[in-house]
């Protein structure tokens, strides 16, 4: 094509150096987690990582709604330019002893032998991916024996005897262990200590030894929630602009949304529901009624204890 390869490499190197900035556009307030993941990716791309192990294996700990799954999605988007390059397996489906065969495939002579395992088949078809094992603490102990081999050798043998390569995979496991210890009045250092103690009490030492890092996600502050409001609104703005309608949200309305959507126990999840109820539902009704036409801008401000919508110029 005549394009100098060195120039392509410069672009790639530049992206890797600024990887934290890229991830922080989607994951708010989790500096330690973002740095750990970014360092693992840089080690791999620089050729300093163990070639016989996955790119990185992490356990993300912390309460619900603080960005554990979002970081996995953001990483998939960065590494493979596709947020859907993520194999997500809910480990609450693997609580029984026999469920290991669903992960790597049934052995010969058993029902489902032709189908392959959920994990091995997904990685065999798409070897460059982020593998997300959600709520890992719910898995049966036999599942951890399979994961030990995966993290140690970077490969698994499926039910049909084929070797599946996991060396181009980022393995992320999430867990809510110790989240009941997270009380709003406790300092962050105490929370981290208690959550790590809960994880060390639940997982076997040989399993934890093979994980690159255990990362505790911090509770979100009001300032973090305010930033998340802006990110979520950008999505609504994008969908509105497809219909030719603009969206402007006043600072007072942003503050109101951050205040109403803040709950230290539930993270950012209540905020999503609030935006759906207060912004998306009301806009959907207005659009269907023909209140806003192509070229209009919706201005959102506060009026007492609620939000007010008007047609901007």
Q: For 109-167, write each residue's pLDDT tens digit.
A: 777 677 778 888 888 888 888 999 999 999 898 888 888 888 988 888 888 888 899 99
Domain boundary pick from 173, 193, 216: 216
pLDDT bin (cut points 50, 70, 90) of residue 60 is very high
169 and 102 assigned to the same domain = yes
212 and 267 assigned to the same domain = no
Q: For 1-14, write each residue's pLDDT tens digit.
A: 343 444 445 577 78
110 and 172 assigned to the same domain = yes
158 and 305 assigned to the same domain = no
Q: Is pLDDT of 61 > 70?
A: yes
Task: Confirm if 133 and 89 have CB atoms less than 8 A apart.
Answer: yes
53 and 154 assigned to the same domain = yes
226 and 87 assigned to the same domain = no
Number of domains in the chain: 2
2 belongs to a structural domain: no
Q: Which two tokens stand for residue 204?
A: 């076997």
118 belongs to a structural domain: yes
Q: For 190-213, write each residue's pLDDT tens digit.
A: 888 888 888 889 899 999 999 998
254 belongs to a structural domain: yes
1 belongs to a structural domain: no
158 and 245 assigned to the same domain = no
36 belongs to a structural domain: yes
189 belongs to a structural domain: yes
171 and 258 assigned to the same domain = no
| Distances, alpha carbon 25 to alpha carbons 45, 99, 258, in Å | 22, 37, 18
pLDDT at residue 4 in the model: 46
237 and 290 assigned to the same domain = yes
CATH number where 305 lies? 1.10.8.60
4 belongs to a structural domain: no
5 belongs to a structural domain: no
Q: For 225-241, write each residue's pLDDT tens digit.
A: 889 899 889 988 998 88
Domain boundary pick from 168, 183, 216: 216
Average pLDDT rounded to a whole number, residues 40-69: 86
Task: Give percent of the chain above pLDDT 90.
Answer: 10
Q: Is pLDDT of 171 > 80?
A: yes
Whole-angstrom distance, CA of residue 230 vs CA of residue 6: 37
Closest CA to 170 of 202, 128, 203, 201: 128
Q: Domain range holding 144? A: 10-216
Domain boundary pick from 216, 243, 264: 216
5 Rama class: left (phi>0) / alpha (psi -120 to 50) / beta: alpha
Average pLDDT rounded to a whole number, residues 76-83: 81
CATH number where 105 lies? 3.40.50.300
Q: Is pLDDT of 313 > 70?
A: no
In the chain the beta strands, taken as DSSP E runs, fall at: 56-61, 86-90, 129-134, 155-157, 163-165, 169-175, 213-216, 246-249, 297-303, 306-312
79 and 136 assigned to the same domain = yes
| Distances, alpha carbon 86 to alpha carbons 30, 69, 101, 218, 297, in Å | 21, 10, 21, 24, 36
Average pLDDT rounded to a whole number, residues 43-58: 86
Mapped onto helix, strand or coil, the DSSP state of residue 28 is: coil
Question: Would you state the torsion angle of the CA atoms of residues 295, 300, 301, 302, taken in this order, to the nearest 10 degrees?
Answer: 150
pLDDT at residue 41 in the model: 86
To the nearest whole number, what is the mean pLDDT of the chain?
85
147 and 230 assigned to the same domain = no
Neighbours of 181 (CB within 10 A): 15
108 and 37 assigned to the same domain = yes
Q: Is pLDDT of 272 > 80?
A: yes
């Amino acid at each position: 094509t005549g394009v100098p390869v060195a120039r392509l490499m410069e672009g790639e190197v530049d992206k890797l150096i600024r990887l934290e900035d890229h991830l922080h556009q989607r994951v708010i307030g989790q500096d330690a987690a973002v740095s750990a993941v970014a360092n693992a990716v840089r080690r791999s791309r620089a050729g300093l990582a163990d070639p016989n192990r996955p790119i990185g294996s992490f356990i993300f700990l912390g309460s619900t709604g603080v960005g554990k799954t979002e970081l996995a999605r953001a990483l998939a988007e960065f590494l493979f330019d596709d947020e859907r390059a993520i194999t997500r397996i809910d480990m609450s489906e693997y609580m029984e002893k026999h469920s290991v065969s669903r992960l790597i495939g049934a052995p010969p002579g058993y029902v489902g032998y032709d189908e392959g395992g959920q994990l091995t088949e997904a990685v065999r078809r798409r070897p460059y991916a982020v593998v997300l094992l959600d709520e890992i603490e719910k898995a049966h102990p036999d599942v951890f024996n399979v994961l030990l081999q995966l993290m140690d050798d970077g490969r698994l043998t499926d039910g049909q005897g084929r070797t599946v390569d996991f060396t181009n995979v980022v393995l992320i496991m999430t867990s809510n262990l110790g989240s009941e210890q997270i009380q709003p009045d406790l300092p962050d250092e105490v929370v981290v200590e208690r959550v790590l103690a809960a994880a060390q009490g639940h997982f076997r030492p040989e399993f934890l030894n093979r994980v690159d890092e255990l990362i505790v996600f911090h509770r979100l502050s009001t300032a973090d929630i305010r930033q998340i409001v802006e990110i979520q609104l950008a999505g609504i703005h994008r969908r509105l602009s497809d219909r030719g309608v603009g969206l402007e949200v006043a600072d007072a309305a942003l503050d109101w949304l951050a205040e109403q959507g803040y709950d230290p126990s539930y993270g950012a999840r209540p905020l999503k529901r609030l935006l759906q109820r207060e912004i998306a539902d009301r806009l959907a009704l207005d659009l269907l009624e023909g209140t806003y036409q192509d070229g209009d801008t919706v201005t959102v401000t506060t009026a007492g204890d609620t939000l007010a919508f008007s047609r901007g110029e």
